[in-house]
Each structure stands twice: as structure tokens, then as C-alpha cells.
Chain A
């Protein structure tokens, strides 16, 4: 069975290439049982989002009017 170390590597690759069926399946099963790797997955998407935001960061959106 897949361990966390293998899972994080695969989660990263999933951001760069389509996973094969077996890989996806193993990862999904791993997420079911591992909260740490579920958090890691969420954090990887956050990293991507943050990198995408880099161009607009110096001027944060004005706060919603109160």
C-alpha cells in the first residue's frame, strides 16, 4: 500500500501530468485514511494559487465597503 512519502510525490506529479488510473486510485484510497495527506493536497493547490496571485499582490483588493 502507498505510504505518505510516495503519496506526496504523486500529489506533486499530479500538478504536472495526468496520473494513470492505478496511481489515481491508490492516491484516492490513501486520502481516505490519511488526514495529513489530505491537508497536503489542499496546501499544494494553495501554493499554486499563491504563485498565480504573485502579479497582483502589491495592491491588495480594497476591503469591501462597510
Chain B
């Protein structure tokens, strides 16, 4: 899998022609084992299979090329994911700089949350957030992650982009505002609505809906 990584590559990319360091062979197998997870992560961020595959392939290649600098095998995954994150940020950056790009506004409207609150602005009836118990237990459950991804995918695209730039790519709001030409206030509003939406979705699809306890 790794050995063929350069094969289908775009020959115009200068990095492709660089020879791999000898250390590359020693991490190649382990890197290949992360491929599926990396792809899933990239698809979630980019919502597009082709660019996600590009990002993963470039991250893999960069990792192989940098193999000499990488001594601590235990952190290989963290390292290659941080490379992948940067690749994803680059792709997003390119996308938002295209003249046709427009950051959508108010995909989730504040009034969408009206049913949750009474006229006095306090939680209304069943909508008051219930105790999720020990929610971290869900991390060990594969089905939880399927629900989590589904809930992320239900966020409208512009909202999801801002949320994931913040929470998964680890940018701070100043950077996001700048990249997307949004005001800080607008950025906070979008993040707030994303969190409201995601929380509500998890509450309905996981914590209330079924076997959150196991």
C-alpha cells in the first residue's frame, strides 16, 4: 500500500521525486495501519472523498520523507495526524480563497432553538439538559462513534467547517475568522450553534435514545 503511494501520484509535485530515507521502511508498516482512520478523519473534515484521499496520501508521504527525524515510535500516530491536520488546513485554505467561495451565514438560525426555551429564556420542559452520567464510557463503543460522525455530518457545511477547524484542527477563533473572513462575534455564534446542534443530536440519538449506559 505504502510502496505504491508514489505510483499514482501527480508527477508535477516536486516532493514526489525525493528519495525516501532508509528509516522510512521501518515506519511504513505502522503508517499503513493508520490509513483507514486517517481517511475517515479527512473525509469528516473535507466532506469530499477525493480531496480527503489526497490529503492522506500527502501526509503519508511527508511522514515517510521525515522518517529520519522521527525517533519516538510510540508517538508515530500523533505525529502523522498532526501532519494530516496541516494538510487539511491547507486544503480548506485553498478552498476558501477561491473567488467563488462564500462562507454561508446563518445556516442554523437562532430561532431554530426557540422550542427549547420558554419565553423567559429558561429551559422548557423536556429540553432541559439531563445528566449524561459518565459519557466518556461511550468512547470505547464503536457504535457511539458512528452516531457521533452522523451528528457531525448533519451540521450544515459552513457551520461544520467552522466547528471542525476549531475542535478538530485546533485553530483558535482568530485564525478561523481570518481564514473565513468572519467577525469574531459571528464565529462565536456559529460555534455556539454548532455545539447546540451537536449536543442535541447526541442527546437524542445516543444518550436518551438507547444504550448510552454500555
Spell out A's residues near B (CB within 8 Å): 3-6, 8-9, 12-13, 15-17, 34-37, 39-40, 42-44, 46-61, 63
- B101 touches A (CB below 8 Å): no
Interface residue SS majority, chain B:
helix
Residues in B lying within 8 Å of A, measured CB to CB? 36-37, 40-41, 44, 77-78, 81, 113, 117, 120-123, 128-132, 135-136, 139-142, 145, 148, 164, 166-168, 172-173, 184, 187-188, 191-192, 195-196, 198-199, 202-203
Interface class of chain A by DSSP: helix
A-B contact count (CB 8 A): 99
Nearest chain A CB to B33 CB, angstrom units: 9
Question: Please, which residue of chain A has its CB at the minimum distance from the CB of B172?
Answer: A16
Give the distance to chain A from B60, nearest Cβ to Cβ, in Å.
Answer: 15
The CA-CA distance from A9 to B113 in the complex, in Å, is 12
Please report the C-alpha to C-alpha distance between residue A63 and residue B131 in the assembled complex, in whole angstroms: 26
**Is the Cβ of A40 less than 8 Å from the Cβ of B199?**
yes
B44–chain A nearest beta-carbon distance, Å:
7
Contact A44 B173 (CB under 8 A): no
Q: Which residue of A lies closest to B113 (CB)?
A: A5
Residue of A with least CB distance to B124? A4
Are A39 and B129 touching (Cβ within 8 A)?
Answer: yes
Residue with the highest number of chain B CB atoms closer than 10 Å, among A6, A8, A37, A55: A55
Smallest Cβ-Cβ distance to A44: which chain B residue: B195
Choose among A3, A12, A37 the residue with the greatest number of B CB atoms under 10 Å from its CB: A12
